[in-house]
Amino acid sequence: MKVEPSRPVSRPAAITVIAVLALTILSAGCGRTRSAVDPAYRAAIEKWRAERLASLTSDYGWLSVVGLVWLHPGENRFGSDPANDVVLPGRATPPFAGTLELRANGTVVLHPGPDRELTVNGAPAGEQVLHSDYVGKPDLLGLGPIRFYVIERGGKVAVRVKDPHSARRTNFGGLHYFPVDPAYRVEATFEPYPQPHEVAVATVQGPKQRMFVPGVVRFTLGGQALALEPFVSSPEDRSFFFVFRDATSGTETYGAGRFLDVAIPADGLRKLVVDFNLAYTPPCAFTPYATCPLPPAQNEIPIRIEAGEKFSGSH
């Protein structure tokens, strides 16, 4: 690097230099310097952000969710009439469109009403058993633009309702993020437990969710040794699901914590990459009709994670 020869500094210039140095020292005391960002890495993060926004704002993304109704045993009537057990929106929705029968074994049977517009997976509806999201992709019921389907949480059964004309979707103001910072992309070590153990995870609403904890992930960030326990829905999962809180939760980020997905190391390997630039806000921040798991006490990080998605709104 070429160095300019020293030369006398005029008084105004000297004052300016002192002021700049003072501001530099003050800034160093207020926060840390962010790492330089490789253009290819930034592009990958921006691509992920664009895909997340597209999913969230899609016709039937989380912003379209307008209802969550827990079914009671026996017949649950649905339609636009407020007297129904499951009240559906939509001007074209008939007052009574059918019933959802919850049987003692947890099976839900659809009994269509007189309206001929009700569909299941795009085909005309008939009397049939409905598959919930517990076994994979649920059967999707449709009435005009309205979509609804059966979910299972902690042994209880509910119906989730979506409307692409939801006010939350049409009035959505976008997503906001901390600046991309590769310092929050850390190498970690996975320490598996002898056997994954099943846990009951508290949720924002509804029953506790049963998940598996396969081990603990340890890493160093900001000079501190930290650890998180990942969740998996089954021992066969190929992705770790982290639910965590940090010192930004409730101010810059969502108070109930954030989510993060990380690829599971290949068999026999222990090293993995945890990238907090990919941390995202849970669905319950955008709709009151989500059943989000809450972070366990061991996943409360005592430092600020100034990476990933911010949140300053409310339901």
6 in any annotated domain: no
Same domain, 154 and 76: yes
Same domain, 189 and 129: no
pLDDT at residue 129 is higher than 50: yes
Same domain, 252 and 177: yes
User: Do 200 and 212 form a contact (C-beta atoms < 8 A)?
Assistant: no
What integer pLDDT is reported at residue 266 of this predicted model?
84
Mind listing the pLDDT tens digit for each residue in 3-27?
333 333 333 333 333 333 333 333 3
Query: Terminus-to-terminus CA distance in the chain, angstroms?
Result: 54
136 in any annotated domain: yes
Same domain, 179 and 291: yes
Tell me, what amino acid is at 165? H
What integer pLDDT is reported at residue 96 of this predicted model?
97
What integer pLDDT is reported at residue 58 of this predicted model?
98
Same domain, 162 and 180: no
Same domain, 138 and 202: no
Same domain, 186 and 290: yes
54 in any annotated domain: no
Domain boundary among 145, 170, 195: 170
191 in any annotated domain: yes
178 in any annotated domain: yes
What integer pLDDT is reported at residue 2 of this predicted model?
34
The beta strand positions in 131-288, using DSSP E, are: 141-143, 146-153, 156-162, 185-201, 209-221, 224-228, 239-244, 258-263, 271-275
What is the token pair recorded at 304?
């600020």
28 in any annotated domain: no
Same domain, 166 and 205: no
Same domain, 196 and 289: yes
162 in any annotated domain: yes
pLDDT at residue 103 is higher than 60: yes
Give the CATH number, domain containing residue 116: 2.60.200.20
Residue recorded with tokens 């020869």: 5
Number of structural domains in the chain: 2
Residue 49, Cβ neighbours under 10 Å: how many?
18
Strands 86-87 and 98-102: unpaired
Domain boundary among 170, 190, 220: 170
What pLDDT band is residue 32 in, cutting at 50, 70 and 90? low
Q: What is the mean pLDDT of residues 115-134?
A: 94
Mind listing the pLDDT tens digit for each residue in 65-85?
999 999 999 999 999 999 999
Same domain, 132 and 180: no
Tell me, what amino acid is at 51? E
Q: Nearest 5 degrees, angle CA 184-CA 186-CA 192? A: 135
What average pLDDT does the structure give for the chain? 88
What is the token pair recorded at 54?
């597209």
Three-state SS at 198: strand
Domain boundary among 151, 170, 189: 170
Which residue range is the domain that position 270 belongs to?
A: 173-299
Same domain, 295 and 197: yes
What integer pLDDT is reported at residue 134 of this predicted model?
87
257's CB contacts (< 8 A; 6+ apart) are 243, 244, 245, 249, 282, 294, 295, 299
Sign, CA torsion 61/69/71/112: negative
Mind listing the pLDDT tens digit for each residue in 254-308?
999 999 999 998 877 899 999 999 999 999 999 999 999 999 999 999 999 999 9
pLDDT at residue 60 is higher than 70: yes
d(CA 142, CA 145): 7
Mind listing the pLDDT tens digit for each residue in 212-261?
999 999 999 999 999 999 999 887 788 999 999 999 999 999 999 999 99
Same domain, 154 and 180: no
Strands 86-87 and 74-79: parallel
46 in any annotated domain: no
What integer pLDDT is reported at residue 216 of this predicted model?
97
d(CA 209, CA 213): 12
